[in-house]
Amino acid sequence: MLNTLKSINSCSGVSGREHNVQNKILTYIAPLTDKVWEDAMGNLIAVKCGSGENKKKIMLCAHADEIGFIVTHIDDKGFIRTSPIGGINFVAASFGYVVSESGVKGVMVPEAGTKAGDIAADKVYIDIGAKDKKEAEKRVQIGDTFHLESNVTRIGKKICGRPMDDRIGCVALIEIARKMSEGGCKNDIYFCFSVQEEVGVRGSKTAAFGIEPDYAIVYDVTGTGDVPGAKPMACSVGGGAAIKIKDSSVICDRETTQKLMALAKENDIKYQWEILTYGGTDTSSIQMSRAGCKAVALSIPTRYIHTGVEMIDMNDVSACVDLTLAFDAAIEA
């Protein structure tokens, strides 16, 4: 899984411009499933047909997009101004390397004299080393996107880098598909790599409308309470698959969350409960699409979300994979 993470992390995929990362994911998911397509929104969807007699439609979803910046202005000296796409922490982004969707490299820096507490979208710019506007415009255009430079580093027994949010969820889906290609599945499993999650859970809504699943499981990162100064929270990195109870956008189906807990205990899979008091994921849009479905989430506890040093434990990802396989085996009607 780590090599898969490194591979797809290296691809750009700012919300609305996910084609590079989706093309890379396609090379992994297509050989493992029976049919693959892209819908009008750009969601990449693959289906693995089950062998059960009374099959359910189970939608597994992780978003392929990442937060980033869109170019809004290039000044006479060739410095680039941007607007945020998604929830940007500009303090964390400052003095960081950035890369455009076409591969142009630069650095994001605050204006001279800006105090740390004042760093915001209108106080930072990107320097691509151009001598003037004319040279900059040969390499960057209005509307191009940039993202913080991707990386994956092992720190102790943890994995650190970006964008774990939510490429690690995509890795989980690919690993589930790999194991199902070897051992089969009972239900029809729809793998959805959604777009535009970071700007309002948009892609998953249309994908769920088209699939019309009976059940949905969403894989995304979640916050933790295991670092100095963190708000009290039950989730910790290395604590196992985080079964979401609620966040600020959704209350997950109680019957299904209880089923996941029972399966975790039965199969000796490490798990923990997640109640997130802020943020949201594709779970909310899928739950309310068309006539609705039984939607839950298996989250990967992550430290330092939306920075360049997001930290995870791969054992938590494995727990999410194992719990999903157990769910498929148990849910056949």
CB distance 286 to 247 below 8 Å:
no
CA distances in angstroms from 297 to 30, 62, 162, 179, 191, listed in the order given: 24, 10, 21, 20, 14
pLDDT at 303: 96
Residues of the chain with CATH 2.40.30.40: 68-149
pLDDT at 331: 87
pLDDT at 333: 53
Name the class of domain 2-66+163-331: alpha beta
Those residues with Cβ within 8 angstroms of residue 26's Cβ, 6 or more apart along the chain or in another chain: 36, 44
For CA atoms 193, 196, 199, 205, the dihedral sign is negative
Query: Catalytic residue at 197?
Result: yes
Q: Does the reported pTM lie above 0.85?
A: yes
SS3 120: coil
Helix, strand, coil shares of the chain, percent, nearest 5, are 30, 30, 40
Those residues with Cβ within 8 angstroms of residue 221's Cβ, 6 or more apart along the chain or in another chain: 164, 165, 166, 168, 169, 299, 300, 301, 302, 305, 310, 312
Tokens at residue 104, please? 């142009």
Given the residues 66, 101, 175, 197, the one annotated as active site: 197
Domain at 68-149: CATH code: 2.40.30.40
Q: Minimal CA–CA distance to 96: which of 112, 107, 104?
A: 107
Distance between CA atoms of 324 and 263, rounded to whole angstroms?
9
User: Residue 247 — φ and ψ, nearest 5°?
Assistant: -140, -165
pLDDT at 192: 98
Distance between CA atoms of 103 and 116, rounded to whole angstroms?
29
Distance between CA atoms of 166 and 299, rounded to whole angstroms?
10
Distance between CA atoms of 192 and 207, rounded to whole angstroms?
8
Q: Kindly give the pairing relationship between strand 57-63 and strand 188-194.
A: parallel
Taking only the tens of pLDDT, the chain with its 333 residues reads 999 999 999 999 999 999 999 999 999 999 999 999 999 999 999 999 999 888 999 999 999 999 999 999 999 999 999 999 999 999 999 999 999 999 999 999 999 999 988 999 999 999 999 999 999 999 999 999 999 999 999 999 999 999 999 999 999 999 999 999 999 999 999 999 999 999 999 999 999 999 999 999 999 999 999 999 998 899 999 999 999 999 999 999 999 999 999 999 999 999 999 999 998 999 999 999 999 999 999 999 999 999 999 999 999 999 999 999 999 999 865
Q: Minimal CA–CA distance to 33: which of 261, 191, 228?
A: 191
Residues of the chain with CATH 3.40.630.10: 2-66+163-331
For CA atoms 228, 279, 12, 37, the dihedral sign is positive
